[in-house]
Amino acid sequence: MTKTAVLLHFAEDQTVASAIAQAAGLGLTAIARHRFPDGELKLRLPSALPQRVVLLRTLDNPNEKLVELLLVARTARMLGATHLTLVAPYLAYMRQDIAFQPGEVVSQKVVGRFLAELFDAVITVDPHLHRVTTLVEAVPAAQATVLSGAPLLADLIATHLPHALLIGPDEESAQWIAQAAARHGFDHAVCHKIRHGDRDVQIALPDIRVQGRCVVLLDDMASSGHTLAGAARLLLSAGAASVDVAVTHALFAHDAMQVINDAGIGRVWSTDCVAHPSNAVSMAPAIADALVSQNT
């Protein structure tokens, strides 16, 4: 990809955007952002854009950011862009993929189609897909690329705990657990989870020996922290020597870190898909490679 293409970003994403742009051979421009007293946004892009434009915006705290995507994408088209790629390391609203009650909004379908109408291509990392198996089913863009943080987290775990036991806190984590375990030959298993509410979960440990072992709970994301905390308490009660956590998306809403610390969890590692003090590995090189591949 040549510098006739440009990566647009917001000020808070400067570090990650610079790393991606340099590795992918992209120009780099920050979007100017002003908030009016009533909360509305005023955004400013370059007055002219190349045909290929990449927008970096991870979608934690997504509601206002979705409005930003609408404003930026439509304006970029008017300023000369003919191919728009969204790089959303964390992709919001993917968990709500079915209506459990009449009239319930299936957010995955609504947001997925919204993004596909704005962008020609979407690149994301470990989207939280459950009842659909491919990203293009959720986001029907012309190009929909999924990267994973599991290999990088597995490498980090192998450095610190070469004989770790990897445990997934629920069945949905099985795909990431298997991927990470295969990379370094880790023993692995997944817990069984029954969710009664956002902060009320029941965990059952898998049938595997944990006595005296260093366990790492690995998942795609951590939000409230209650699932990880519940699994950690059970593991420590069963004799685990230690319990650490590795997640792709460090959402950690509200008091999640306190919940995790109170459960006896030691270290917390994450990718930089969502900015957080636990960030330990960068997805920028993999994202840059995906952008280069997209244009070859």
Which residue from 239, 241, 244 is spatially nearest to 263, judged by alpha carbons? 244
Instruction: Using DSSP, state whether 273 is helix, strand or coil.
Output: coil
Q: What is the CA radius of gyration of the chain?
A: 20
CB of 126 within 8 A of CB of 149? yes
DSSP single-letter state for residue 127? -
User: Would strands 32-35 and 27-30 be described as parallel, antiparallel, or unpaired?
Assistant: unpaired
The separation between the first and the last C-alpha atoms of the chain, rounded to the nearest angstrom, is 8
- The residue whose two tokens read 């295969």 is 182
Provide the 10 A C-beta neighbour count for residue 215: 27
DSSP single-letter state for residue 28? E
Instruction: Tell the burial category of 37 from Cβ atoms under 10 Å away from its Cβ (0-12, 13-18, 19+).
Output: exposed
CB of 28 within 8 A of CB of 61? no
**DSSP string of 187-251?**
EEEE-EEEEEETTEEEEE--SS--TT-EEEEEEEEESSSHHHHHHHHHHHHTT-SEEEEEEEEE-
CB of 181 within 8 A of CB of 187? yes
CB of 220 within 8 A of CB of 95? no
DSSP single-letter state for residue 253? -
* Among 3, 42, 109, 193, the one annotated catalytic: 193
**Known catalytic residue at 193:** yes
Q: Which residues are catalytic?
A: 193
